[in-house]
Amino acid sequence: MRLSQMLFVTLREDPAEAEIPSHKLLLRAGYIRRIGSGIYAYLPLMWRVLKKVSQIVREEMDATGAQECLLPQLQPADLWRESGRWDTYTQAEGIMFAMTDRQQRELGLGPTHEEVITTIAKDMIRSYRQLPLHLYQIQTKFRDEIRPRFGLMRGREFIMKDGYSFHTNEESLKKTYQDMAQAYSNMLRRSGLQFRAVDADSGAIGGSGSQEFMVLAEAGEDEVLYTEDGQYAANVEKAVSMPADVEPSPFATFEKRETPGTETIDKLCKVLKCSPTQVVKNVLYQAVYDNGITVLVLVSIRGDQDVNQVKLLNELTKLAGNYQAKTVLFLTVPDAEAQRKWAAKSLPLGYMAPDLADDYIAGSKEVNSKFLRLVDRTAVDLTNFVTGSNESGYHVVGANWDKEFPLPATVVGVRTAKKGDRAVHNPEQTLQSARGIEVGHIFQLGTKYSQAMGATYTSEQGEEMPFVMGCYGVGVSRLAQSAVEQSYDKDGIIWPVAIAPYHAIISIPNISDSQQVEVAEKLYAELNQSGIETLLDDRDERAGVKFKDADLIGIPYRIVPGRSLKSGKVEVVERATHKSQEILIDEVNSTLKQWIEAAIN
Ligand code: ATP
Ligand code: MG
């Protein structure tokens, strides 16, 4: 491609709309253009990158025996009602774009495809002999994200590879899951990314396992905890660790103490001269179940620990049956406005005890009249502890479970693991922390969708059995941008060679120099012919402008037919290192071939 004929517009200044480096660079270098909130046009350079990433993904998927297909993006609401997700996706989470057609039928734009694929399996897979089966597609997904941001990282329209596998049993599922873990590692390695596979939360879906593939970068929205020995890595949402040891309590007898201005654990411990490990703190949450019932949740946890909301949400989902519900729609810490809707009187915030009376709740049809009391494991074994007194300005010390306070019946593990904690597999290892961008997620689904949608096959014994399923997603457009987030410098993007839009760019320093033009044209034809994807910067611009642009768009090798022409050579500059060397014109092709092959393999 000749730059003189290309839609090639670069910006000198960082666009105001962009916060992180990769987003700024992709806009500045003319790869993407914002059309609306979370909606981007992939311009010609970006589209080439996306096609390269897709091709790597496709090759790795095909190698595992998965088959590519293309499913509809317009999905009938009925399918989502069968799985029970229509209301959650269109209203509660609100992530699905929903619409009504001219016949008054409801439809959604696919945020994911479990419903569609399960329907196909239900219709077409009759016998165990047809299993296992794995179908995948590479396609645009639609999600009405609450906070679209960072360009392609969190778009409302983005490209995903999603695959779904069907099995007769868990063992077969596990095998495909392992194959996928390997395929995903291959994809990311081949795309030139530094990444880590981590244990992930499988949320309300349950299932027996899930891993995320995290590209390591400061701008990542996720926190990853891992150990140096390489034995453990998990998303903080899921991570486990050993809490610090408890310090023995200095309080031998139960008494109430005046502790004004001690709403926080820090202040309280200063005033009482105790350790936060001797405190039971009581944290209030508000959960709304899918039948509209609000439940106030009081979590008692050790003072030095924090509640992990993802873990708490999972526990509350397990308890949904107690409230005649199926799932939790919202989980929040109720602010003053939320409290006004149900609080019968003002709460002793900062001074609550585990036995905070139920009469603080003005129960109603929508609000459960009793607190759901949960205790985290870290608080269960404490003795002579400090906690609230249910009276502002006062705490109690020397308290014990089942003496002064009944131990809540439901014991849960909802503490947040954090950097510096000892690892469970080996207490000598401490957890380290890194930021990650989730580019892939693989999942053992089990029978959740097949059961809900009545998708069964006939087993060898002649029984109707629900499919055992797995699902596997890669954010193709997010992956492409995360490569930039990991690889840039002050001059612009540094594409990994495998996914660069072009391998090389020939920048003609002066287009009125006929010798320069002649050599450039010759190389341009020759390189492209031999499979080295090459751009020709034949614009009537100063050499400096062309070099800047070549650096900005991040093409791995820049070829300059300049001063060295008199000795039959051109200058070749490597983008990543700015290393420059002079190469005989006749050897440019073979040299670049070698370099590219070495970089890609
Ligand atoms: P996240 O936690 O980032 O919202 P998710 O868990 O909802 O993602 P999945 O449903 O597991 O994502 O989708 C599979 C992959 O699709 C993700 O690993 C990610 O790479 C990509 N992806 C998800 N949402 C977006 C988005 N809004 N924009 C771009 N890529 C996305
Ligand atoms: Mg995910």
Single-letter code of the amino acid located at 400: N
- Which tens digits make up the pLDDT trace of 264-275? 999 999 999 999
Single-letter code of the amino acid located at 571: E
User: Which of 370, 348, 353, 352 lies closest to 361, judged by CA?
Assistant: 370
The residues whose Cβ lies within 5 A of ligand 2, an ion, are 441
User: Which of 550, 469, 468, 465 lies closest to 506, judged by CA?
Assistant: 550
Probe target for ligand 1 pocket from 57, 438, 472, 474, with the most ligand atoms within 8 Å of CB: 438
- Which tens digits make up the pLDDT trace of 318-339? 999 999 998 898 999 999 999 9
- What is the rounded average pLDDT of the residues 424-449? 96
Q: Which atom of ligand 1 is nearest to the CA of 438?
A: 18
Structure tokens, 319 = 């308890």
pLDDT at residue 420 tops 70: yes
* Residue 204 confidence (pLDDT): 59
* Rounded distance between C-alpha atoms, residue 381 and residue 401, angstroms: 9
* Residue 208 confidence (pLDDT): 66
DSSP label at residue 237: T
What global pTM score does this model have?
0.92
Structure tokens, 486 = 């990991």
45 sits in which H/E element: helix 44-63
pLDDT at residue 110 tops 70: yes
Buried b (16+ CB within 10 A) or exposed e, 234-250: bbbbbbbbebbebeebe
* Rounded distance between C-alpha atoms, residue 290 and residue 44, angstroms: 45
DSSP per-residue letters across 368-415: -SS-EEEEEHHHHT--SEEEE-SSTTEEEEEE-BTTTBPPPSEEE--B
Q: How confident is the model at residue 93 (pLDDT cuts 50, 70, 90)?
A: confident
Q: Which atom of ligand 1 is nearest to the CA of 440?
A: 18
Q: Name the residue at shortest CA distance from atom 4 of ligand 1.
A: 154
Asked whether 143 lines ligand 1 (CB < 6 A), one says: yes
- Which tens digits make up the pLDDT trace of 277-304? 999 999 999 999 989 999 999 999 999 9
- What is the rounded average pLDDT of the residues 112-137? 97
* Rounded distance between C-alpha atoms, residue 139 and residue 109, angstroms: 12
Residue 173 burial by CB count (10 A; 0-12/13-18/19+): exposed, middle or buried? buried
Write the CB contacts of 157 (distance below 8 Å, at least 6 apart in sequence): 38, 39, 40, 140, 141, 142
Taking the centre of ligand 2 as the mean of its atom positions, its distance from the CA of residue 80, in whole angstroms, is: 20
Q: Name the residue at shortest CA distance from atom 28 of ligand 1.
A: 154
* Residue 363 confidence (pLDDT): 82
Probe target for ligand 1 pocket from 57, 109, 141, 149, with the most ligand atoms within 8 Å of CB: 141
- What is the rounded average pLDDT of the residues 174-181? 97
Residue indicated by tokens 């989730």? 438
Single-letter code of the amino acid located at 301: I
Asked whether 158 lines ligand 1 (CB < 6 A), one says: yes
Mean pLDDT score across all residues of the chain:
96
Taking the centre of ligand 2 as the mean of its atom positions, its distance from the CA of residue 577, in whole angstroms, is: 35
The shares of helix, strand and coil residues in the chain, as percent rounded to the nearest 5, are: 30, 30, 40
- What is the rounded average pLDDT of the residues 47-66? 98
Structure tokens, 380 = 């269960």
Beta strand residue intervals within 25-156, DSSP E = 32-36, 39-42, 67-68, 74-76, 98-100, 106-109, 133-142
Q: Name the residue at shortest CA distance from atom 24 of ligand 1.
A: 154
Backbone angles phi, psi at 131, to 5 degrees: -110, 155
- Which tens digits make up the pLDDT trace of 479-507? 999 999 999 999 999 999 999 999 999 99
* Rounded distance between C-alpha atoms, residue 454 and residue 260, angstroms: 60
Name the pairing type of β-strands 209-216 and 432-446.
antiparallel
Probe target for ligand 1 pocket from 140, 478, 479, 485, with the most ligand atoms within 8 Å of CB: 478
∠ CA 282-286-287 to the nearest 5 degrees? 125
Q: Name the residue at shortest CA distance from atom 14 of ligand 1.
A: 473
